[in-house]
Amino acid sequence: MADMADFVLKEKKSDFNIDSNYASQSFWKEVRHRFFHKRSAVIGLIFIILIVVFAIIGPGMNDFDYASQELSQKNFAPRVPGLEGWSLFDGGETISTTTGSKTINQYEEKGLTDLYYWFGSDMYGRDIWTRCWSGARVSLIIAIAAALIDMIIGMSYGLISGFFGGAVDMVMQRILEIWNGIPRLVIVTLLLLILKPGMITIIFALMLTEWVGMSRISRAEMLKLKEQEFVLASRTLGAGSFFIIFKEVLPNIIGPIITQVMFSIPTAIFTEAFLSFVGLGIPVPQCSLGSLISDGYDCFTTHPYQIVPPIIIMALLMLSFNLLGDGLREAFDPKMKEM
């Protein structure tokens, strides 16, 4: 036992970080560098770009449009030119009944061999490909509009509350606390009952509920920054409160704000989908990802292919925005904890 040391060196390789010395770079260059080094964030970004591109050009890629019905061609299974050999896209579907299951191919039965519904057609004979991408377009518009409006409201509220402090802050924070105490679900459902359902209403409802998180973050950042020298310097030079808040402090907290916007987009998509599912969403014949899932749900045991594309698009979209948000958060503030 003589050769055994009293102390064993602890090996914690992951804790030994070598300080990396970089030449001084501009803030944005560094952010970009860190962002593109995180693989998951880049993957998220690529998926978002892909989905956005398809949401723009997708509905125009074939001859169908999202509203026109062809009742003689309802519930056609997906069929893609060139991929007919693959059982997923050959236009046939297996229907199981009480007497057993049988495979039918409606395209061949009706002699419509020149017809291709890439994602199939729904119960009214509408092309699911077109509807999916116009639905993605609607969902994206709603989510991005809501997130941007939230950003403006929440940011201003938080910055003003944090900057002035004292009684203003006290009153504003109590109002916020009470507002935050009301479940979002309750606000949104009640609002949608009063107002006419539609895209604007949904954006409005999302706007009313989602700004709280944003205002918290901007207030906290403001509290951190307002005691710093550059604010004092600006004030000494005669800058007014408005100038200090929006021209001096705001550019310095843009990182956390952008990150928060990225996280509020999936929340908005989710809330919209939820509302559609409950029956308070976009009015027909327009569609969103949520209403497509809701439609597909009605026949998902007999025609599962109708519900799969919108679910995949929505899940990918939410996943990508979450990954992008994570990546941005780390890129802007590498010291920050993961949650």
Partner 1 sequence: MKKYVLKRVLTSIFTLLAIVLVLFILMQLMPGSPFNDEKLSDDQRAVLYAKYGLDQPIVVQFGHYVVNMLKGDFGVSYNISKNTPISQLIQTRLPISINIGFFAVALGTLVGLILGLIAALKRDTFLDSLCTIISVIGVSVPSYVFALALSFTFGFKWRIFPMLYNSADALNSSVMPSVALSMFTMATIARFTRSEMIEVLGSEYMLFAESKGLSNHALIFKHALRNALIPIITVLAPLVVDLMTGSLVVEKIFAIPGVGSLLVNAIQSNDYNVVIALSFIYSALYIFIMLVVDILYGVIDPRIRLGKESN
Q: Which residues bind partner 1 (CB under 8 A)?
A: 10, 14-15, 40, 174, 177-178, 181-186, 189-191, 193-194, 266, 270, 273-274, 277-280, 293, 297, 300-301, 304, 307, 311, 314-315, 318-319, 322-323, 337-339
- Residue 253 or 324: the one with the smaller Cβ distance to partner 1 is 324
Work out how close the CB of 229 gets to partner 1 at its nearest, in angstroms, rounded to a whole number: 23
User: Cβ contacts of residue 211 below 8 Å, gap of 6+?
Assistant: 149, 150, 153, 154, 157
Query: In the complex, what is the shortest distance from the CB of residue 270 to partner 1, in angstroms, rounded to a whole number?
Result: 5
Name the strand (E) or helix (H) holding 143.
helix 128-164
Q: Are 215 and 154 in contact (CB under 8 A)?
A: yes
Shortest distance in whole angstroms from residue 182 CB to partner 1: 5
**Distance between CA 172 and CA 242 in Å, rounded?**
18
CB 98, min distance to partner 1, A: 14
Q: Give least dist CB 295 to partner 1, A.
A: 13
Distance of CA 236 to the CA centre of its chain: 42
Calculated CA dihedral for residues 157, 160, 161, 167, nearest 10 degrees: -130
Q: Report CA-CA distances (Å) from 232 to 226, 229, 236.
A: 8, 5, 6
Cα–Cα distance between 78 and 127 in angstroms, integer? 10
CA-to-CA distance for 157 and 177, rounded, in angstroms? 13
* Contact between 159 and 285 (Cβ < 8 Å): no
Count of alpha carbons within 13 Å of 116, Cβ hemisphere only?
13
Measured from the CB atom, the residue of 227 and 338 that comes closer to partner 1 is: 338
Q: Closer to partner 1 by CB, 73 or 282: give it.
A: 282
Instruction: Name the minimum Å distance from CB 181 to partner 1.
Output: 4
